[in-house]
Amino acid sequence: MKKIKILFVCLGNICRSPMAEFVMRHLVEQNLLSDYIDVDSAGTSGWHDGENMHRSSYQMLKQHGIDCKNFVSKRLPENALQNYDYVAVMDDSNLSDVYQCLGYDSQRIFKLTDFCEDFDFVPDPWYTGNFFQTYHIINECCLNWIRKLKQDLGS
């Protein structure tokens, strides 16, 4: 069976989308779905290409027992829709940047917060400093998404 490929996207690919990548991968592993779902992340800007994730994102993941080795920040590739099934972004600004880069596709490109009722976007801790809040929103959205994916996969 072909794997479902998920790409998380934010602006810098050092704070939010790496957090989402490792939270989701952790959930995929916990739910024994590694044979069915692949997870990756990228940034629209490319400003931090080649860097590790933000220290506070790393610490937030560590505190929650989530392994996050071998991360390298990278820019969103223009052919992403050829290699990924879903592109989940963090806010409206990411959404318009991604549409501009990849073309409009409302079925495959959407905000991660479409999977939760209480938030309309994932706040950027680069500006808010609140990595804790960002982690919890991401975690809730990913939990809801994995439930849906499990249903879709019939497992």
Q: Which residues are catalytic?
A: 10, 16, 124
Handedness of CA 78, 106, 2, 6 (dihedral sign): positive
- Using rule CB under 6 A, residue 23 touches ligand 4NP: no
Residues 46-75 that bind ligand 4NP (CB under 6 A): 47
**60-79: burial string, b at 16+ Cβ within 10 Å, e else:** bbeeeebebeebebbbbeee
- Using rule CB under 6 A, residue 42 touches ligand 4NP: no
Q: Do the bridges between strand 37-43 and strand 109-111 make them parallel or antiparallel, or are there none, so unpaired? A: unpaired
Nearer to ligand 4NP among residue 10 and residue 33 (C-beta): 10
Least CB distance to ligand 4NP at residue 75 (A): 12
Residue found under tokens 């929650």: 64
| Among 11-19, 74-82, 111-119, 141-149, the segment contacting ligand 4NP (CB under 6 A) | 11-19
